[in-house]
Amino acid sequence: MGYVSFRGGEQAIREAERLSRESRLPENSPFLEVTQVEEQLGAAVDQVMGEGGLYDRQLAALAVKQAEGDLMEAAFLVRAYRTTLPRICYSIPSHTREMFVLRRISSAFREVPGGQILGASRDFSLRLLDFKLMAEKGAPPIQNGRDRGEREEEQEPMTTVLDLLEAEGAVRRTGRRGQDQEPDDITTQGLRFPASRSARLQALARGETGAMTALAYASLRGYGSVHPTLAELRVGYLPLKVRHPVTGETVTVGEVMVTECHAVCAGPVGAEVSQGEGDSMPRFSLGFGLVFGRNERKAISMAVLDRVLEEAKGRSSWENEEFILYHLDGVDSMGFVEHLKLPHYVTFLSAMDRWRSLMRKEVPGDVRS
């Protein structure tokens, strides 16, 4: 791939950047505050946090504002900023049984311990434009703030559907063998193939929501072999724990909102579950998804793709590890697609020279360009 430098473009680039900044805010249009984006465009903020790999609602809201609502560009901004931050420590793994649950549903069972908790959901609403929103003015009425983290009481740990299936022997958690091994960190080491499950889950967790949905949809339609049932889909707050640098004790320093999905599939479990354990019982296989914020579509897609990659039959591109993990990263794909806008004068001139040479051989006389 060849590029060529050119003169006289610096001033044009500066003016283009200035025009972009000015066109972001039309004349007489009020400023959109970052707090408004954070509080009222929660789905966009959560998506940018997940794809940017940085849990900070304010910075994600700033990126959405700066990118004029282009969520892929906003995730790029967040991930670029993330690279400038010092890495202080790694958090201690938290079990999702400790989650303060805001929403919890199961497609596998009607009755589950703790009950189905619909929470805030549009799953059962008609997708119709609400024109009343165009007349909204002033401050909103007082609302229940539980979905924003304002809690007046503690919640008892909730038994998961997966716990019940495991107790019955119907499923065994994928990846139990070798669970004490140190997880990989793809932000410092990069992806290597074949990838460990910890690396795959990291890549999926910050994958682009649209790309992951498309790949999961392809598997569901039959291009892959995975069509699961959701044992459980949960949204809630998970405690963030670190080890105290002086005492060495576990300390809870905050909490993060996450979406978790357990997907079970009928079929044989992977060899990593039963190999060497003398266990040949048929069981349901498991796919797992967990993402920042509330992004149920992505969590479900992650669980589907986790199961696809665990099967790893390689019968098609939809089951190929390198194909999936390399092509679901929105920042990578955006950069490579948009690089086509950069000057390619040398490569295209070379292609034109080859074309002219071929034409001279095929067509009598001179070929005019």
CA distance linking residue 276 with residue 278, whole number of Å: 6
Q: Interhelix angle for 330-338 vs 209-218, to 10°?
A: 100
- Do strands 285-292 and 229-243 pair parallel, antiparallel, or not at all (unpaired)? unpaired
Under the banding of pLDDT at 50, 70 and 90, the label for residue 7 is low
Under the banding of pLDDT at 50, 70 and 90, the label for residue 262 is very high
How much is the pTM? 0.84
Looking at residue 11, its pLDDT comes to 81
Query: What tens digit of pLDDT does each residue of 197-227 get?
Result: 899 999 999 999 999 999 999 888 877 778 8
310 pLDDT more than 70: yes
Average pLDDT of span 278-303: 87
235-239, 298-302, 334-338: least confidently modelled range = 334-338
Query: What tens digit of pLDDT does each residue of 44-78 get?
Result: 999 999 999 999 999 999 999 999 999 999 999 99
Give pairs for 200-205: CB < 8 Å, separation 24+.
200/306, 200/309, 200/321, 200/325, 201/288, 201/290, 201/302, 201/306, 203/325, 203/328, 203/329, 204/289, 204/302, 204/305, 204/306, 204/325, 204/328, 205/50, 205/53, 205/290, 205/291, 205/292, 205/302
